[in-house]
Each structure stands twice: as structure tokens, then as C-alpha cells.
């Protein structure tokens, strides 16, 4: 019995080793030509035929998204709606957590629109459309905090900072501010917000518009210390190599030309942008 | 004699087994990209050493060790108190027994991550004296101790109840009081019996220290996540996983040795 088992194992092992000789290791089909493939706007390659599947996080915050999740308005909601309208497609909203969105791999949607900053590191893993909004970092603290009156980055060196993991806000804190206390890193902006309210951190950083929105509507007695622009833009996020980027860029280009994008910005975002700039 | 042949058979079997696995892994589609994404030496080294904008996973692991060391001691003490309180006889102690039972029910019922949120975000928000101004690591340790003490208390209780009542009866008849009997006769036996399941719970505790990261501090898993989010390479997760396994192995082997020794002791008496 033992001898039979041994012989079977031997034969199995040898035959599989034989197979290994031939094939190279399979599957790096994704390498491909990184450049944008052309996209026919009348017949675009969609995740689900006949509908534009757009993803964002849940909960989605105003003023980026307003109204009910079947039919978002708000700045990013309307940008996506406009893109769908110009491509003559109905829009379908799905959920994708921010932390997963810029990870490499196949996506279950056509694109994700969720205040995602275009960075060279992320571009290795996913594709972005052209930028549709110039972002700055916003710094938020409580009214009675010693840091509420800060005018420069160095005024904030002794503060306890908090931000969401994997965001450019965290990069800004680690690379530009370099605070003396260890930065607290949270799973979501919501957790950072709770930490700020309960005094676990002094200062919280997220994108400028969200920062002002939090001050105005969500966190009582908070104050925006300032903004810090870093030449960052939000882009719509696509699976790497998805040719749909070309079509969306065409549409976005027209929206910029004919002023639609500017109009949406004025309608939803203007009140959130007048914030003093922090000096270095 | 079995020796020589057994060794030969086990060696051949081991070699073949791993050869088959290696072949399957190499042949699998995408294995190149898996090797690059999870095992790239450059990224393994970067995550161990740390970069300008990402913390070292190994350095952050010291926080896990710190949390584990402190929690472990506190859990052993608190759980013993709860287990003892639970079995105090006498009607006058009924409320205390109820509290002990309710404690183990509640804290074994609520998920650890929920307790972390309630204590780590809820308590600071209350603004109550010094209790609301502790560090988030302290809140994390409090949550871990509360939850694990409930589990460990039940383990102690199993040990206490497994000591035959005749031990207690003999101690009492020798003139020892209830507390003395508990302290000198029952508990030493009870605790010795449950050392393997206790160690098992502590192996679990070592992993759960990673959850304290939801409260903001950067421990090994969060450090790995920060690296992964900025570099899109998951070698940092592999490093964190290896670190956890490395501290588990000595504890696991030690537990095995204790179980074997206990088994030898018990069965030694049976061969008469």
C-alpha cells in the first residue's frame, strides 16, 4: 500500500515538473500599452452596457453630493450627471470605499468620483481623467484651541494632527508640516472628526471644501485655520488601461470650454473657498 | 527497526509534497505579479526600515508589544477577580454574583471593535474629569482588558469548577477558612489546569492589539496600511504578518510543551 502511494506521488510530481518546463509563467496581460487607447463616444466600452456606472463612497458628503443616493446632485454628483447626459447614457450609482478606490485591480464600475486627488503614485495603479477641480488642504481646529489663531505652518508644529489614512492630507502633514507630536491616522474622515470633537487631536486636515462644510454644518465651535494649496487636482478614477478615459476627457474638455464646469463650481462650491492661505 | 525506513519515506514524501506545491504556485497565472506585489525585496526592506513619509512597520510593532504586555497582566488579574466573585457562596453576595455574570455576558457579547469605538470615541466626548483625557492607547488597553477579562474569567471558572469538591472539603475539615481553602488549595490547582487555554486566549490577544489602530495610533498593521496606500505594494502587510507570527510561535510551542507535561503528569498516576 505504502509503495503504491509512493509511486503515485512520484509519477504525479514528475509529470507536473515536466509541464513546468514549457509555459512561461502566465498572465501578465495587463502590462500592455500604457497610453490612452482611443474611445468612440458613440459606442464607449462600458462596465454594463447602456448605462454609466459611477462609484462614490458612502456616506457621501455635501456639497460634493446632495440628495438621495439613487440620484445625486451636488458638485460631483452633477459633474457625473453632466458627463452621462453628454454621452447619452443613464447613470447608475454604486458604492466604493475611498480606501479601496485607488488600489490596483479590476473595478466594478466605469469610474469613481470621490474627491480623489491625482498623484503619480496612484497613476501607477489606476487611470485618471483630466482634473475637474483644483483642491487645497484645509486645516480645522476647535475655537478654544491654542492653534485657532495660527497664521503659518510653523505655528502648528506642536499640534496633534489627525487625518485619514492614504490621503494627500496625511502626506501634507508628514512632508510639509512635520509636527513634533505623532500624527494620528484614522480609517475615515468621520473618525478623525470624532477625534477632533472629543479632544483626542488638536487639528484635523482634509480637503478644503469638506473642511469648511464641517465647520459650517457639522462640528460646532470649530474654526478653519487656513488652506494650503499644493497644486492638486481631483480626477475621476478609472481601472488601469480603461479606454473610457478618452471619451470622458473629451466630454470634460467641452464642459470646461463652454463654462458648464465653472457654473457648477459657482453653484455648489463658491461659499467654501474663501479661506486665508497658511504661509510656510 | 522503523527508524531508517521511516526517515527515508518521510523525507521523500516531504520533498515531493513541496515540489508539487512549488510547481502549482509557479504555474499559476499572475504569480509574477503576486511575487512583485507581496514579496518584492525592495519593498520588504522599505517597509521594515521606514521612509521619509511612512513609518517603519517594525518600529510600529513595538506599540503592539507594549499594548499586549500591559493588557495581559491586567487581564489575568481582573479575570481572576471576576471568576472568584462569581462563585462566592451565600445569599448576601447575590448581587455581586449577578454583576460578575452580567459582566461576562455583556463583554463576551459585544464585539471588541464596538467596545473600542464606545470607549475610544465615546468616553472622551463626555468630558468627565480626567477619565476623558487619557491617550487613545490607554483607551485601547482599557477596551482590550474589559473584553478579554470576560473570556478569561470563564476559563478560570472552568478551572475552578474542575477541581473536585473533595479538595475543598478536605481543606475545610483541616480547619482552613473558605478563603484560605480557595487561595491555598483550589486556585493553585485550578490555574495550573487552565494554563493551556489561557495561553490560547493570549495568542488571540496579540492579534487583537492591531485593532487599537482605529483610535488613531500607528501600530504595525496601520503602518503597513500607510505604506501600502502610498506605494501600492503590499509587502508591508507581509512584514506585519511575519512579525505577528514570529511572536506567536514561541508562545504556541511553550503551550504545547505545557500540555504535554500536564498529560504526562496525569497519566503517570494511572499506570499502577
- Does A199 sit within 8 Å of B124, measured CB to CB? yes
> What is the pLDDT, as a whole number, of residue A70?
85
Domains recognised in chain A with CATH numbers: 52-134+232-272 (3.40.190.10), 136-231 (3.40.190.10)
As for how many domains chain B has, the answer is: 1
Cβ-count burial of B70 within 10 angstroms (0-12 exposed, 13-18 middle, 19+ buried)?
A: middle
Is B67 a domain residue? yes
Other CB atoms closer than 10 Å to residue A137's CB: what's the count? 26
> What is the pLDDT, as a whole number, of residue A180?
93
Sheet holding A203-207, edge to edge: A91-95, A52-56, A111-112, A222-239, A126-142, A203-207, A161-164, A184-186
> What is the pLDDT, as a whole number, of residue B270?
56
- B150-184 pLDDT, tens digit per residue, is 999 999 999 999 999 999 999 999 999 999 999 99
Instruction: Collect all residues from A whose CB is shorter than 8 A from any CB in B.
Output: 2, 6, 9-10, 12-13, 16-17, 19-20, 23, 25-28, 30, 99, 102-104, 121-122, 124-125, 162, 165-166, 170-171, 174-175, 182-187, 191, 194-195, 197-201
Residue A27 CB contacts under 8 Å (≥ 6 apart), including other chains: B29, B30, B31, B32, B33
Check whether A115 has a pLDDT greater than 60. yes
Is B265 a domain residue? no
Choose between B132 and B205: higher pLDDT. Answer: B205
CATH number of the domain encompassing residue B200: 1.10.3720.10
Is B80 a domain residue? yes
> What is the pLDDT, as a whole number, of residue B1?
54
Is B32 a domain residue? no
Q: What is the mean pLDDT of residues B123-128?
A: 82
- A60-88 pLDDT, tens digit per residue, is 888 999 998 888 999 999 999 999 999 99
Q: What is the mean pLDDT of residues A17-23?
A: 44
Q: Please indicate if any CB of chain A lies within 8 Å of the CB of B18.
A: no
Q: Which three cell numbers stand for residue B193?
A: 489546569
Other CB atoms closer than 10 Å to residue B98's CB: what's the count? 11
CA nearest to A273, candidates A115, A135, A147, A77: A135
DSSP H helical ranges for A173-226: 189-197, 208-213
The answer to ipTM > 0.90 is: no
pTM of the model: 0.81
Q: What is the mean pLDDT of residues A212-223?
A: 92
Q: Mean pLDDT over all residues of chain A?
A: 86
> What is the pLDDT, as a whole number, of residue A116?
92
- B189-198 pLDDT, tens digit per residue, is 998 889 889 9
Residue A205 CB contacts under 8 Å (≥ 6 apart), including other chains: A137, A138, A139, A140, A161, A162, A163, A169, A170, A172, A173, A211
Is B19 a domain residue? no
Domain assignment of residue B204, given as a range: 62-217
B110: DSSP letter:
S
> What is the pLDDT, as a whole number, of residue A37?
61
- Does A175 sit within 8 Å of B216, measured CB to CB? no
Check whether B269 has a pLDDT greater than 70. no
> What is the pLDDT, as a whole number, of residue B266?
74
- Does A200 sit within 8 Å of B136, measured CB to CB? yes
- Does B30 sit within 8 Å of A17, measured CB to CB? no
> What is the pLDDT, as a whole number, of residue A7?
65
CB contacts < 8 A, A to B, total 115
Is B41 a domain residue? no
Amino acid at each position: 500500500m505504502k509503495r503504491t502511494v509512493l509511486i503515485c506521488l512520484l509519477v504525479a510530481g514528475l509529470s507536473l515538473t515536466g509541464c513546468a518546463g514549457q509555459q512561461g509563467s502566465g498572465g501578465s496581460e495587463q502590462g500592455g500599452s500604457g497610453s490612452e487607447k482611443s474611445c468612440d463616444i458613440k459606442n464607449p466600452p462600458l462596465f454594463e452596457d447602456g448605462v454609466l456606472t459611477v462609484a462614490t463612497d458612502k456616506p457621501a458628503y455635501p456639497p460634493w453630493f446632495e440628495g438621495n443616493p439613487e440620484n445625486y446632485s451636488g458638485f460631483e454628483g452633477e459633474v457625473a450627471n453632466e458627463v452621462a447626459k453628454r454621452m447619452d447614457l443613464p447613470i447608475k450609482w454604486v458604492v466604493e470605499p475611498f480606501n479601496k478606490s485607488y488600489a490596483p485591480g479590476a473595478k466594478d464600475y466605469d469610474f469613481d468620483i470621490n474627491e480623489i486627488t491625482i498623484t503619480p503614485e496612484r497613476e501607477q495603479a489606476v487611470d485618471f481623467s483630466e482634473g475637474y477641480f483644483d483642491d487645497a488642504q484645509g486645516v480645522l481646529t476647535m475655537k478654544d484651541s491654542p492653534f485657532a489663531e495660527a497664521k503659518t505652518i510653523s505655528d502648528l508644529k506642536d499640534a496633534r494632527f489627525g487625518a485619514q489614512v492614504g490621503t494627500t492630507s496625511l502626506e501634507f502633514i508628514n512632508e510639509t508640516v512635520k509636527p513634533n507630536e505623532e500624527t494620528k491616522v484614522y480609517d475615515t474622515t468621520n473618525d478623525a472628526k470624532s477625534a477632533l470633537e472629543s479632544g483626542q487631536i488638536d487639528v484635523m486636515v482634509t480637503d478644503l471644501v469638506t473642511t469648511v462644510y464641517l465647520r459650517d454644518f457639522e462640528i460646532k465651535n470649530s474654526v478653519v485655520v487656513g488652506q494650503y494649496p499644493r497644486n492638486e487636482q481631483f480626477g475621476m478614477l478609472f481601472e488601469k488601461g480603461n479606454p473610457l478615459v478618452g471619451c470622458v476627457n473629451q466630454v470634460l474638455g467641452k464642459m470646461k470650454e463652454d463654462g458648464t464646469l465653472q457654473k457648477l463650481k459657482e453653484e455648489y462650491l463658491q461659499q467654501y473657498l474663501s479661506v486665508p492661505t497658511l504661509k510656510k | 527497526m522503523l527508524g531508517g525506513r521511516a526517515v527515508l519515506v518521510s523525507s521523500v514524501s516531504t520533498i515531493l509534497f513541496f515540489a508539487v506545491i512549488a510547481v502549482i504556485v509557479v504555474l499559476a497565472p499572475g504569480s509574477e505579479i503576486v511575487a512583485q506585489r507581496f514579496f518584492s525585496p525592495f519593498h520588504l526592506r522599505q517597509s521594515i526600515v521606514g521612509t521619509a513619509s511612512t513609518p517603519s512597520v517594525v518600529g510600529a510593532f513595538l506599540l503592539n508589544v507594549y499594548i499586549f504586555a500591559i493588557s495581559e497582566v491586567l487581564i489575568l488579574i481582573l479575570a481572576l477577580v471576576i471568576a472568584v466573585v462569581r462563585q462566592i457562596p451565600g445569599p448576601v453576595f447575590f448581587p455581586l454574583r449577578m454583576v460578575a455574570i452580567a459582566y461576562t455576558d455583556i463583554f463576551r457579547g459585544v464585539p471588541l471593535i464596538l467596545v473600542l469605538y464606545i470607549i475610544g470615541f465615546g468616553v472622551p466626548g463626555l468630558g468627565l474629569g480626567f477619565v476623558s483625557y487619557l491617550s487613545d492607547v490607554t483607551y485601547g488597553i482599557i477596551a482590550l482588558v474589559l473584553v478579554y477579562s470576560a473570556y478569561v474569567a470563564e476559563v478560570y471558572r472552568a478551572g475552578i469548577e474542575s477541581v473536585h469538591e473533595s479538595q475543598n472539603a478536605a481543606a475545610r475539615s483541616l480547619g482552613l477558612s473558605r478563603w484560605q481553602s480557595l487561595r491555598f488549595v483550589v486556585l493553585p490547582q485550578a490555574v495550573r489546569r487552565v494554563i493551556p487555554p489561557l495561553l490560547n486566549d493570549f495568542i488571540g490577544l496579540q492579534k487583537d492589539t492591531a485593532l487599537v489602530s482605529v483610535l488613531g495610533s500607528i501600530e504595525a498593521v496601520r503602518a503597513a496600511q500607510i505604506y501600502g496606500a502610498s506605494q501600492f505594494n503590499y509587502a508591508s502587510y507581509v512584514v506585519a504578518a511575519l512579525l505577528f507570527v514570529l511572536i506567536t510561535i514561541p508562545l504556541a510551542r511553550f503551550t504545547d510543551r505545557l500540555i504535554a507535561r500536564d498529560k504526562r503528569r496525569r497519566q503517570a498516576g494511572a499506570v499502577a
